[in-house]
Every structure is written in C-alpha cells, then in structure tokens.
C-alpha cells in the first residue's frame, strides 16, 4: 500500500467527524437534538422540514461512509504488528465494519421518517426513538471494543 493511500485513509477519520457533524447541523440535529422530553408535536415538526432534514441526513451518511477507509488502515497496521496470529486485527475489522453499518442505520431510519412527514405522529415518534436509541448504543459499543483492542 502506498504512503499516499495510507495518508488518504488516515485523513478519512477526521473527515468522517467533520462531514457527519456538518450534515447533522444542516438537518437541525445540532446544536440541540430532540430529546426524550420532546413532545409529539415537536418531533413531527422537526421531520416536517423534509428537504432540509433529508439533505442533512444524506450528507451525514456520506460522512459516516468515510470511516471505512480508516477502519481498513487500522486493520492493515494491526496485521503488521500482530504477524502470524492476527486475532485482534480480525476483531477490529469485524467490529469496525459492523459499527459503520450500524451507524448508517439510524440515519437511514431518520431519512425514512422525513421522507413521509404526514404519517401518524405516534409512528413518527416511535421511529425517532428507535433511531436515537440504536445510534447511541453503537457509539458505546465502538468505544468499548476499540478500548479493549488497544488495551490488549
């Protein structure tokens, strides 16, 4: 692998954060996202601005996709370090790939909500809660697994 490709993969990490946060800012998720105390009408109103929300969520999905080159680069260097018994490399690659996909799912679910903002408000709130709770769990999972891999 050339040094230039490695550098591009490494810069994909900060780009993931910046592009994803930009998408969330456009969608209106930042600076203050919907919370558990948000009323049904607040949640429905948020997704009622479908063009803005959809545009921001598409940008954030593109940002999250940038994490895959970084995961591959980390796996490449772990493989070089571990040599003939690359168990932690496999753990990092599998959990990293799963995390990338699982981070995309809440964004996809939010885009589905925004695509048809006129559906039953209770369904909108339920889908919103599933998207937020699923996304939060993935961040915690990745922090724990990355910490475990580094500690070993």
Q: 4 in helix, strand or coil? A: helix
Tokens of 122: 């209770």
pTM above 0.85?
no
Tokens of 78: 């772990």
Q: What pLDDT tens digit does each residue of the chain (152 aa) get? A: 799 999 999 999 999 999 999 999 999 888 777 877 889 999 999 888 778 999 999 999 999 999 999 999 999 999 999 989 898 899 889 888 888 888 898 889 999 999 988 889 999 999 998 988 877 666 666 666 666 666 66
d(CA 73, CA 6): 7
d(CA 48, CA 77): 45
């Amino acid at each position: 692998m050339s040094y230039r490709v490695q550098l591009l993969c490494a810069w994909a990490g900060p780009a993931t954060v910046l592009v994803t946060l930009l998408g969330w800012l456009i969608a209106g998720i930042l600076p203050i996202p919907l919370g558990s105390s948000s009323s049904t009408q607040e949640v429905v109103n948020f997704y009622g601005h479908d063009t803005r929300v959809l545009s921001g969520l598409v940008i954030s999905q593109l940002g999250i996709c940038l994490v895959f080159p970084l995961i591959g680069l980390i796996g490449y260097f772990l493989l070089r370090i571990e040599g003939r018994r690359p168990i932690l490399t496999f753990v990092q690659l599998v959990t990293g790939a799963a995390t990338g996909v699982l981070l995309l799912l809440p964004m996809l679910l939010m885009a589905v909500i925004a695509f048809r903002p006129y559906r039953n408000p209770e369904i909108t709130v339920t889908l919103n809660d599933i998207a937020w709770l699923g996304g939060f769990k993935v961040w915690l999972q990745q922090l724990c697994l990355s910490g475990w891999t580094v500690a070993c």
